[in-house]
Amino acid sequence: MTGVAIVGPGAIGDVHAQALARLGVTPVAVAGPKPDELAAFASTHGVARTYGALDDLLADDDVEAVIVATPSHLHASQSVAVLESGRHVLCEIPVGLSASDAAAVADAAARAGRVAAVGHTLRYWEPHRRLQDRLESTGTLPSLVVVRQLMLRQTDMGWTGKLRDWTDSALWHHGGHAVDAALWHLRPAEPVTVTGTAAPPWPGSGSPMDVAGAFVTADGRLASVAVSYHSREAVSDFLVIAPERTLLVNGAVLRENGEVVYDGGDVATVQFDAVTAQDRAFLDAVAGGPPPAVQAADILPAARVLATLEAGALST
């Protein structure tokens, strides 16, 4: 059994601990800077050892793999530290807040010969997996992919409903999900040409809350992405259009040409199933099985698109 540890005993760390429990795995250790939060997490999930810092956790010889579930600005540096210590890492999205951050993690994994999985959970989301299987089994190349990730996140509260003491990134977090999914379904043979921008930083958060982008493949196929943390109408849909078929993922449902072909029920169940599948794939890869569906090197094309959108950010 792989000795897996979690760094970051917050909301998403709690989700990973629940997913591991579903797989019959108890983390061997957890690390975090807040003693009360750390103690509560360890008590809830039966974790025997707690550490105040990642370096201390990495000195524990029983730790073979680490799930990084800390604030986003720590992801890249902590993932590199895990890899350089000889451990495998599963880093929550975003793997970094720049294309160079993402490349640093991918490079560290290559040097260490270790797994560097990333939490692009849509790659494990059952409706998306079925959509991708349909495209590949029929040889369908989409002519247009349209992605919208619109939600209200004007406070530092994530999807678990817990307040955080750090600010999320519409561009690198949900933009990362959106752009990676669009490229995954579009399947360009070469890098895409990108146009678009992130909005000016919003005074309430100090960061852009809206992102709009479009990209085109070398063979003239298109995708568009819109992300907002200001939307009081929640929208999360992925429309994939080809001359011979149209597929739509809306939450837990997949439609083809207007007909429901898969209904996963409630979104929360599909989401937790995806996290569990992601964590299982990581543990299987660590144990010598096939590589996970998405590693740090796999998301570099999306990171380059996001960096282009960030560079095009409008000035105030």
CATH number assigned to the domain comprising residue 257: 3.30.360.10
**Residue 237 forms part of a structural domain:** yes
Counted domains in the chain = 2
Residue 164 has a pLDDT of 57
- If 0-12 CB within 10 Å is exposed, 13-18 middle and 19+ buried, where does residue 190 land? exposed
- If 0-12 CB within 10 Å is exposed, 13-18 middle and 19+ buried, where does residue 128 land? buried
Residue 216 has a pLDDT of 95
**Residue 273 forms part of a structural domain:** no
In the block, tokens 């591991």 appear at 20
**Residue 152 forms part of a structural domain:** yes
Do 305 and 172 lie in one domain? The reply is yes
- The one-letter amino acid code at 259 reads E
Sequence-ordered list of residues with C-beta below 8 angstroms from that of 124, at least 6 positions apart, any chain? 274, 275, 277, 278, 281, 293
Do 56 and 83 lie in one domain? The reply is yes
Do 91 and 137 lie in one domain? The reply is no
Q: How confident is the model at residue 160 (pLDDT cuts 50, 70, 90)?
A: low
Domain residues for the domain of 85 are 4-120
**Residue 280 forms part of a structural domain:** no
Q: What is the pTM of this model?
A: 0.94
Residue 313 has a pLDDT of 59
233 phi and psi angles, rounded to 5 deg: -120, 110
Report, as an integer, the average pLDDT of 63-74: 97
**Residue 271 forms part of a structural domain:** no
Do 31 and 154 lie in one domain? The reply is no
Single residue among 88, 105, 120 that ends a domain in this structure: 120
Do 215 and 143 lie in one domain? The reply is yes
Do 306 and 170 lie in one domain? The reply is yes
As a whole number of angstroms, the distance between CA 34 and CA 36 comes to: 6
Do 111 and 126 lie in one domain? The reply is no
For residue 144 the two structure tokens come to 């247009």
As a whole number of angstroms, the distance between CA 148 and CA 119 comes to: 19
Question: In 3-state terms, what secondary structure has residue 297?
Answer: helix
CATH of the domain at 44: 3.40.50.720
Single residue among 120, 139, 159 that ends a domain in this structure: 120
**Residue 72 forms part of a structural domain:** yes
Q: Which contiguous run of DSSP H or E holds residue 107? A: helix 99-112
Residue 38 has a pLDDT of 96
Single residue among 78, 96, 120 that ends a domain in this structure: 120
Do 23 and 51 lie in one domain? The reply is yes
Residue 315 has a pLDDT of 40
- The one-letter amino acid code at 42 reads A
Do 137 and 202 lie in one domain? The reply is yes
**Residue 286 forms part of a structural domain:** no
**From its phi and psi, is residue 188 left (phi > 0), alpha (psi between -120 and 50) or beta?**
beta
Residue 155 has a pLDDT of 77
- pLDDT tens, position by position, 71-127: 999 999 999 999 999 999 999 999 999 999 999 999 999 999 999 999 999 999 999
Do 116 and 152 lie in one domain? The reply is no
**Residue 284 forms part of a structural domain:** no
Do 49 and 187 lie in one domain? The reply is no
As a whole number of angstroms, the distance between CA 71 and CA 75 comes to: 7
Which of 213, 215, 212 has its CA nearest to residue 231?
212
Sequence-ordered list of residues with C-beta below 8 angstroms from that of 137, at least 6 positions apart, any chain? none
In the block, tokens 């809350």 appear at 209
Q: How confident is the model at residue 2 (pLDDT cuts 50, 70, 90)?
A: confident
- Give buried/exposed letters for 259-296 (b at 16+ CB in 10 A, else e): eeebebeeeeebbbbbbbbbbbbbbebbeeeeebbbbb
Q: How confident is the model at residue 308 (pLDDT cuts 50, 70, 90)?
A: very high
- pLDDT tens, position by position, 224-279: 999 999 999 999 999 999 999 999 999 999 999 999 999 999 999 999 999 999 99
Q: Which contiguous run of DSSP H or E holds residue 247? A: strand 245-250
Question: Can you give the length of the chain in residues?
Answer: 316
Do 11 and 112 lie in one domain? The reply is yes
210 phi and psi angles, rounded to 5 deg: -135, 140
